[in-house]
Structure 1
Amino acid sequence: MKLKVTASSFLLQILLITILIFHLFPSYQTYAEKEEKLQEADNRFLRGVEFFNDGEYSAALAEFQWSYNLKPHYAVLYNIAVCYVKLGKYAEALKYFKDYIEKGGSKITPEKKKQVDDEIAYVKSLTGNLNVATNIDGAAIIIDGKEVGKTPLKESIPVSAGTHLLEVALMGYMPVKEEITIATGTTIEKSYILTKDIRTAQVTITSTAPHSTVLIDGREMGKSPWSGKVSVGEHEIIIKAPGYRDEKRQVVLHPDEEREIEVDMEISGKPGKITINSNIQGADVFLEQQNIGMIPLKSHKVPAGIYHLSISKEGYKSWEGDISVREGGHTKVELKMDKLSGKFSPVYFSISTGIAIAAGVAGATLGYFALQKEKEFNDFPDHLKEQGTGDMAALQEKYNNLAEEGKKLSKAADICIAIAGVTGVTSIFLAFFTQFKKPESKATINISATSGLSINSTWRF
């Protein structure tokens, strides 16, 4: 009896073999990678032994630590401890001797266990102990830049004899630094009162979503973009916006830091799209007063809703109005932008008219005072007849002063009237060449939904 193999059964066999190969390949790849790491760990261990025998203890320490990270074997911990002893770092050596005993357990022979106990006793004789207490639990205890524990301590911290830099740090509190000296066999007790850190950092937060609200540690700070002073330490920042998922950021601020945080918001639900085209490229597009790009704007995603849209470019008539964006829909704006006419801005007409009115009022007021001085000057001779001759020198000086004051007032009034006349004529000229009505462009808006329904309208603003 012969087995007949059809084309379909043959293809099925090929497919099964292919699936089996691809199924086994990741396992083989993982196994190969694991073997490679183990081989590297062995090589680094042997290199560490060579460095140690050559008296290069720092290099040996690095190789043993790297080997242990690749292949955690308790025996390597003993080598690391011995390297620390050779380097005079007895507190570190003590830690690794204890780790060796703990992780080796019953695998360590009694003879080796006794040897290590003797080495631990020797190392302890070359170290002191440190106890640190703080008014706030959780403070990190740092010796010579390396964290060795947190308060409250369960047991004393062994420290190599000598002088060390002790730091106590807790997020949100002022750090404490002190230089301490520990002698062998001694115990130092330290207690610190940690105080709140009142230093601040400058933080600026911006969001890609319009109407975003900024919250820091649950307290509403304002709308995006937001900028202000924030106390140093760890904070939770939350950005909320209608139609968008809340975004959270965990930040750690340092004293006098200037931090800029930009948050890219993700739309919740099915977004709508906005596409804007125009006969003029490069016009700025603002959605709810937030710049979202330039024309041409292609399929910009936003949550469903009604938005105020404005488009502008220097030298062209701007356009603004409200547009509707449906969930899953596509709102398309076709805009025809016209160049601004050669007419002047209403600002120039307002300035010219204001100057004309102010100069006219000032000229009239000064003219009135000039006439009063002229009347007083003309009446002065009659005043002399009534008063008699008196001191002729003083009277003559007063007479001359009246004449001089009258001339000054008259001249000032003439200047103001002249200014009023010139600016008045300018205002009349500007009235014929000023664009008092807001420049407008014309837009055709098409709003399409996923159902295929659409409306077309032409709006002018």
Structure 2
Amino acid sequence: MKSTSFARRALGVLSIGLGLYTLGTAPTNATAQTRSASQKLEAIRQLMEKGQGLYITGNYQGAADLFEGGFKQYPYSAFLFNAGICYQKLSETDRALGKFREYLTVDPTAPDADKVKQRIAALEATKAVAPPVAELGGSGGIGGGGSAGLAGSGGAPVAIPPGPADDASAMRSLVVVETEPSDAPLRFYSRTEDAAPAFKLGAQNPGWKEIATARAPANLTLAVGKYHVVVEKFRDFNESHADIDVSPGHVYQFKANLSQGEFMAFLRVSANVKGAYVWLDDKKKERPFWGTTPHGELVSAGPHEVLVEAPGFEPLLAPVMVNHGEQKEMEVAMVRVNYGFLRVDSNAPEVKVRIDEQPKGVWRAGTEPLDVQAPAGQHKLTVIADGRKTYESIIDVPRGQVLPVHVKMIPKYPRGAAWTQAIIGAAFIGAAAYFGNESNKLHDQLEADRASGRLEEGDSRATRGRWYAVGANGGFAVGGVLGVLATYNFIKDPLPESSIRTDKPVEFDDPRKARPVALSLPLPSRLAQKPSVTPGPALEPPKVSVGAVAPDAAGLFVGGKF
């Protein structure tokens, strides 16, 4: 009995735990599914709009390739029809026919099925091939193709006039309609007369025609025009309805919350910066970001606040108002911040960086480049390294971007030979001055003795004085030559000045993007390749030595009086 009681208690605890887990995870899973569906529709929307853009610019082949690739990823019939239009523009009739036939196979109940059949017949007629006998009756929805018919006695085909030339409005769009709860019955109407009044529930609605029925969720391929969707009475819910204005090559999403009896609005935010982060009704960023531009989702009708941020740009907070069932396109223009960065590295082991004479940091070999922030505009850049020539120049800091700067520091030209020559030359001149002075003293003594008649013939002072004078003259000559050489070598500098190389400016680092956890090769735009700090032969200074002075060499000869 005890074991049975324990088993029952354990089973009860497990059941409660499983129930709590289910309650906790269900909202998360629902949110994830909703986000995944929104991302899928956004991807379809971008493909459709890009293809429409290529078509408008006349790049029909590029548009066809994009629409075909879009159908392989997301099998919606609108991609097939649009690809067929592109091939028709390229005069590739067989490929166009193949796409239109595939369109009818994938979506046999399309609102414009009859018009597409007429387009197929017209294309076949242009190939001088009798079109197959087919019932072409009915206006059947909205389409922009050519017209064709089969008539005549004996089954002979009559000439089929070519349809009107396709323009940008020939592209089809995808319309997705959902309800909460799902499976609600839907009816779609097309406005057939431009002057028709607005659609009203329960009215006769002249100038409007029913083109399709379905159950939610449903998707339709529609041509350019004005439509109306009605969610009929479903369970205990009343009718709901919304207008649909279709432009060429777009994707529209509608969702009706039947408990409120209204369609939700659709808000899409785009910016001049792709991948900017968007927060909806969360200016303090307390929740994860809503999406990245361009991004759109279903939202509740009413006022909202949109916050858009991107590294290197000023944050933008803007209000937006959306109505029930409205498809709102919100475009924002972001402005770059008024400062930028210099990303500095060098071939020297260590450099000190200054901007406008203000120290900004030290970069060392083997580390990340040094990011130096400065107001946008021109500044004086100074780079200093021990044993290297100082680099100074005016540099332009980009606004809201990073400018990679690679500094090539050139070693200072060695002055050891010049100093050696100067010291030895000074020693020779000092010695020459001493010997010259001694020679002059002896000369004065001998002159005095000669004048007094005490000078003896063969006085050794005369010989010693002459040698002092020779030494003085030689010392002055050698010292003068060494002085000239030292001066030249102090001035001489065969090495170039230090220089910089800048790369193309890059965007600010994005702190929200995951950083690699393993070492990888550095990106050229982020890290500079560090050249060897050992100078090559072109940077090695020539060796200078002190040469001997020939007896007849030119020089400064200042000596004694002998």
State the TM-score, normalizing by the size of structure 2.
0.24
State the TM-score, normalizing by the size of structure 1.
0.28
The answer to which structure has the higher helix fraction is 1
The answer to which structure has the higher strand fraction is 1
